[in-house]
Amino acid sequence: MGRLLLIDVVASVAVLALWYVVFSHYNRKKGAAALRWVQDACAGKGSILESRWMGSSRLQARLHFPSRWFENARVTVRFQPRPLPVQWLMSCWHRQKETLTFEADLDGSPTFHLEVVRHRWCAHNRGISARKRDGREWDVFEPGPIILTTRTHWKQDPSAELNALMSARRQDILQVHFRPESPQFSATVRLEALADPNAAAEFVSALREIAAGASTHRQ
């Protein structure tokens, strides 16, 4: 009985070890592809200096841009935690997406916190339809951005930063954050949105527009 239990334990450990090795390799292959997407998007505008893995599902790379808009730039790619079965199942349960976050310091430090969260769609139910008692009618609409800021007075006209963000509506930008401390600027996008070279290049252009808008607003 004890020998069978030992065999089961050894077999379970071997299966988990094999699972970890296989899916760690899978994540690293996706990481290499993500870095190629970033490099292609930055062609002529920036380059990757170095990259390193921080665990089995997080990749970070330092970038260099010749422009003064971005300093100490880096990207952090968060993958599904596939090598860890329990965390992977929890991630799938919560429908967490793989994302890329760009972080950098700007030419001038912002004097406030500004966080813009893009919520693309929402809906509410209007009750049972008169024509179909077993069905429901839904009104679906696209709301405006949710703004969290430390400013005590918010102007009616959106700031230059927000205008730049809204000009990039074709991008799946999930969140933009300005802060006084480093990193002063960050933007998060769905990783799958960068698989298309044109979309990736437009994302980098959108980042430049946002940074330029922030610099103009401070002046």
Average pLDDT over residues 156-171: 53
Residue 197 pLDDT greater than 60, yes or no = yes
Statement: residue 136 has pLDDT above 60: no
pLDDT at 44 over 90: no
151, two tokens: 């400013």
Check if the beta carbon of residue 114 is closer than 8 Å to that of residue 147: yes
Mean pLDDT of 168-185: 76
Q: Which domain holds residue 176?
A: 2-218
Q: How many CA atoms lie within 13 A of 136 on its CB side?
A: 8
**How many independent structural domains does the chain possess?**
1
**Residue 118 has what pLDDT?**
65
pLDDT at 149: 63
Q: Is the pLDDT of residue 74 over 90?
A: yes
pLDDT of residue 106: 83
Q: Which of 39, 26, 27, 30 is nearest to 197 (CA)?
A: 39
The pLDDT value recorded for residue 12 is 85
What is the reported pLDDT for 28? Answer: 95
Residue 150 φ/ψ, nearest 5 degrees? -90, 5
Supply the pLDDT for residue 127. Answer: 54
The predicted structure's pLDDT at residue 155: 60
- What pLDDT score was predicted for residue 113? 74
Rg of the chain's alpha carbons, rounded to an integer? Answer: 22
The model's confidence at residue 120, banded by pLDDT at 50, 70 and 90, is low
- Of 79-93, 100-114, 145-159, 179-193, the range with the lowest mean pLDDT is 145-159
**What confidence score (pLDDT) does residue 79 get?**
96
Confidence of residue 143 (pLDDT cuts 50, 70, 90): low
Query: Are 101 and 75 contacting, i.e. CB atoms less than 8 angstroms apart?
Result: yes
